[in-house]
Amino acid sequence: MAAADEEQQLLHLKLAFLAREPPSCVLSLARKAGGGSVTPPVQNFILANCTGNNAWGDQKCTYVTTILKRIIAEAELSSDIVIDGLYEEFGQFMSSKSHLQNNSSLNRTEKIYREISFLSPTDDNKLVSLVARLSCSTNMLEGDTGCSLWPSSLFLSEFILSYPKIFSKKCCFELGSGVGLVGVCLNYVGASKVILTDGDVSTLENMKANMEMNKLCVEKEGSQLLKENKNKVQCKYLSWEEASESVLSDCMPDLVLGADIIYDPVCVPHLIRVLSMLLRRGNNRGTNNVANKEEISNEFSSTATEAPVAYIATVIRNVETFNCFEKAAADANFSVVNITNSEAPSSLLPYMLSYDRSSVQLLKITLST
């Protein structure tokens, strides 16, 4: 393996660990970095770059223990040498895990901290351009879906980072923002204003905490700190069922975004109604700044028009639900164009083996004229 390739594989291994990829994915990258087996150099790399950070407490203890156990078993099975440091580290984490489990005063958490690192598309995936630190749910099947990290959110984030000029200097409004990853990316590419919304109170609180973790301003709208801070991110409660013109009166976005928000036919009429209000409001506000039009004309010609645009990334898990959305969109006089292939984003998360980007569809939505 060439030195450059080996360096890239080790970087991918480290980033997968920090992103809390499933242990099987981390193990696969460890094998790849070692040319087919978890060699002593790879084991040393894991000790030096992955397991030594204790910032994440008991969450990290459980995860690291599982990783080390799988790495040791793999090395023993393939008759490779297992370095002493790996056994020692495993023993320490097992001891820490036992202590935490026996401590009755410890409140068990269902959150895990993940670092999602987006690699630069211009340097063969060897440089990290952005790191988003997020508190996410570990139990998405029991009512905590809003705090989970979904493929559509990853795809939409790649799209934003691949076409930054579309979002630069624009007011961006996201529906169903979840953990807030899209907001971190919008701020990074220079959106003039980022409004993140969700209809679940606990999800909204987690989102605000994530923005603070990423050093983004989440002060109340109108505050002096928000006006002075270059990280202009707001987090708002928004129930689609209760949303009205007055609720959205302060929101006149250039761009509306959403990831995995087409999931329930019951919610579709409310989603369409909110989209209609947001996209229609933009049609009545006059002409956008000409300089902004010229700046993005080489990205997507349609983004240089006066009307706002919505970009929705979705996984079609239920065809009937998606058909329901398409019909409702047509009835609302929306133009819905699938741009998944024509405007495909760069692959900025190659180390996330659990992320199936091929399952995501990207829709561009406007009001028909």
What is the pLDDT, as a whole number, of residue 3?
Answer: 76
Question: Do 101 and 119 sit in the same domain of this protein?
Answer: no
Asked whether residue 144 carries a pLDDT value surpassing 90, the answer given is no
pLDDT value for 178: 94
Q: How far apart are CA 107 and CA 100, in angstroms?
A: 10
What is the per-residue pLDDT for 60?
62
Please indicate, yes or no, whether residues 297 and 363 belong to a single structural domain of this protein.
Answer: yes
Considering the domain architecture, whether residues 94 and 149 belong to the same structural domain is answered as no
- Report which listed range, 43-52, 87-96, 215-224, is most confident: 43-52
Q: Label each residue of the chain as H, E or C.
A: CCHHHHHHHHHHHHHHHHCCCCHHHHHHHHHHHCCCCCCHHHHHHHHHHCCCCCCCHHHHHHHHHHHHHHHHHHHHHCCCCCCHHHHHHHHHHHHHHHHHHHCCCCCCCCEEEEEEEEECCCCCCCCEEEEEEEEEECCCCCCCHHHCCCHHHHHHHHHHHHCHHHHCCCEEEEECCCCCHHHHHHHHCCCCEEEEEECCHHHHHHHHHHHHHCCCECCCCCCHHHHHCCCEEEEEECCCCCCCCCCCCCCCCCEEEEECCCCCCCCHHHHHHHHHHHHHHHHCCCCCCHHHHHHHCCCCHHHHCCCCEEEEEEECCCHHHHHHHHHHHHHCCEEEEECCCCCCCCCCCCCCCCCCHHHEEEEEEEECC
Q: Which residues contact 40 (CB under 8 A, 6 or more apart)?
A: 80, 81, 83
Claim to verify: residue 183 and residue 73 sit in the same structural domain: no
Same domain, 136 and 227: yes
Confidence of residue 221 (pLDDT cuts 50, 70, 90): low
313-322 average pLDDT score:
95
Q: Is the pLDDT of residue 142 over 50?
A: no
> What pLDDT, on a 0 to 100 scale, did the predictor assign at position 247?
83
Report the CATH number at residue 336. Answer: 3.40.50.150
Token couple for 91 = 């023993």
Q: What value does the mean pLDDT take over residues 183-201?
A: 95
b/e string for 233-248 if b means 16 or more Cβ within 10 A? Answer: bbbbebebeebeeeeb
- Select from 86, 109, 132 the last residue of a domain: 109
> 232-279 pLDDT, tens per residue?
799 999 999 999 888 887 788 999 999 999 999 999 999 999 999 999
> Final residue of a domain: which of 79, 109, 139?
109
pLDDT mean over 191-208: 94
Per the listing, tokens 């929306």 go with 334
Q: Are 132 and 41 part of one and the same domain? A: no
Question: Domain check: are 207 and 285 in the same one?
Answer: yes
Q: Are residues 212 and 328 in the same domain?
A: yes
Domain span at residue 152 reads 114-367
Same-domain pairing of 277 and 312: yes
**pLDDT band of 106, cuts 50, 70, 90:** very low
The total number of structural domains in the chain stands at 2
pLDDT of residue 299: 47
- Judge if 77 and 207 occupy the same domain: no
Share of the chain above pLDDT 70, in %: 79
Q: Alpha-carbon distance 101 to 108, whole Å? A: 9
Q: Which of 58, 91, 109 is the last residue of a domain?
A: 109
Structure confidence by residue, pLDDT tens digits, 113-127: 999 999 997 766 678
Please give the angle made by the CA atoms of 163, 206 and 180, to the nearest 5 degrees: 5
Considering the domain architecture, whether residues 324 and 191 belong to the same structural domain is answered as yes
Position 104 pLDDT exceeds 60: no
Q: Are residues 234 and 155 in the same domain?
A: yes
